[in-house]
Chains A and B, each alone.
Chain A
């Protein structure tokens, strides 16, 4: 249906080329900004809500894309994701540009694999909204939203003011849908570059 199907075989040079397509951004030696860190972690959270095997698949993909030099194991992945200041287990540690690029590639490749599901969920969402029906009418959508809310609530620090905004199911659903839309745009031909640049929009 779409061009650029997910590549299953990637040579080392292709990996380098892939990350090189993401231009370096002017960050300080303290690494990526807060918004970059939050956005990347939330995109991965949505992927985990869509894919029951999310965290295993993310690691397997890192290996397949030969990003295991940057993200060798679960602990490193966890540490990098915990640079998101909104997490309960937040650790003050910088996220390097290379780590951010690796996560960007992972988000986009995972999103491409889920293109059909993303399109289907957004289509159902659109129809329900237009008919003014509750989102729970769609079992698939309800399942995704429920998993997303559970992931979000168990991992984010409820005392941060940025999290207080999402105290209701309705607000969290809105965020979950916005992330679906974001992931859909990640699946496109220029999705990875556009996503990468959007992470630094208004920051440079």
Chain B
């Protein structure tokens, strides 16, 4: 008994013909059971060619179309199964007039050239739907069902389009050089700044003294230095008074937070290349909210080269004029060394040892954060790994998932830093929080992260679970 079934949709009609199975009678349905497929025909509206084939063809067809549809839903690219007679791929996105078309190619045994049909999304959907309806029909080919399984991370990764994967490889040769150069910009607590070779000291001085009493761009003549110092640190005499009336901050934990905050502020803004050849020492006054209220040069190079430091632009000037009033103050010794290192310490040291910076100890928060960081890292990690071994890092992360500090645990790990997704999430200022107008250190959680050459990452709490 020949059975013919038709699945009709607005843009696509699927007709299957097969042999009915008299044994398959079912009291719930009077429709005969189509158990053996003889041929299938698929008609698409506006396309002259019908697609025809046997069961093997129909299975390959359904598998390809299903995968493609799933890719459209997930937004991830999915390639057609290898060696399949049927493939679907998006029509080039550059072709504006044909964007959002889907090219169906069918290799037919008796034709030299594969048959190519460009389908609209609606046509593609109706095609998928016709096949789904046939597969869901219990009276047609009940032995065949589509199995819905997501791809693993690995499979999805391997299926990325060739063009996308080829790019990192093409860069491969020069990659190492770039990685090595990029190391210089690695933020480490104390940065060695590149500097120009300087003329020796005597030459330097003679040049300075012979400068006409105008306004030299980089240095102030010694006789003008006193005035300059008066100007740049104009707030200081008043600050001295302030220091007598406003309580000084003695809480070591607060001092530690303020020190870290001041370091970040100065480090971020110290962008002028040093031309001085002796360390610049300043005494800097900071309010409890972290604002720089004033500074005083403590040695003569500090007076002469003040404009090479970011202090002047960072001093907080109240809108209403005068000096800022703070409820309490702290003084720090700030040294800009001639080799480009910034040092910040409390002027009178810590009254007692500060406690360890706060950590996130709550297990639930820690675990949520771990997954958040993992997701963020995966999100930013878009390049194919070029390294051939596991790269380990120690990360300190705030409650909001920002990376406040990181530390490569091997030289390979630091060498391949530019390839890793850490930089976009790195924000050293995130470890400072202003609460009730006071600077505090944010609690941090530490993680060990291993980036593997397979493109996966493993993350665990630094102190173990």
Residues of chain A at the chain B interface (Cβ within 8 Å)? 1-3, 23, 25, 28, 30, 33-35, 39, 85, 92-94, 119, 122-123, 125-126, 129-130, 132, 161-162, 177-178, 181-182, 184-186, 188-190, 193-204
Contact = CB atoms under 8 A, between A and B. Distances in A.
Given A197-B70, A197-B150, A202 B136 contact: no
B133 A189 contact: yes
B279 interface: no
Nearest to A23: B148
Contacts of A188: 125, 128-129, 132
Q: When A and B form their complex, which 9 residue pairs have the shortest distance between CB atoms, in order from nearest?
A: A202-B156, A198-B73, A34-B375, A198-B74, A200-B150, A201-B74, A189-B132, A190-B132, A197-B148
A185 B375 contact: no
Contact of A3 (B96, B100, B128, B133): B133
Interface string B276-291: 0000000000000000
Given A178-B75, A193-B148, A198-B73, 11 more contacts: A25-B150, A30-B367, A94-B371, A130-B98, A185-B72, A190-B136, A194-B70, A197-B150, A198-B74, A201-B70, A201-B156
B122 A129 contact: no
B272 interface: no
B151 interface: yes
Nearest to A30: B371
A101 B346 CA distance: 56
B152 A184 contact: no
A165 to B, nearest CB: 12
Interface in B95-121: 96-100, 120-121
Contacts of A130: 97-98
Interface of B: 9-10, 66, 69-76, 78, 96-100, 120-122, 125, 128-129, 132-133, 135-136, 146, 148-153, 155-157, 365, 367-369, 371-372, 375-376, 378-380, 401, 424
Contact of A129 (B99, B128, B365): B99
Contacts, number: 125
A190 B73 contact: no
| Best-surrounded residue of B10, B71, B146, B375 (most CB of chain A within 10 A) | B375
A190 B73 CA distance: 13
Given A194-B70, A198-B150, A129 B121 contact: no
Nearest to A179: B75
B330 to A, nearest CB: 31
A93 B157 CA distance: 28
A201 B150 contact: yes
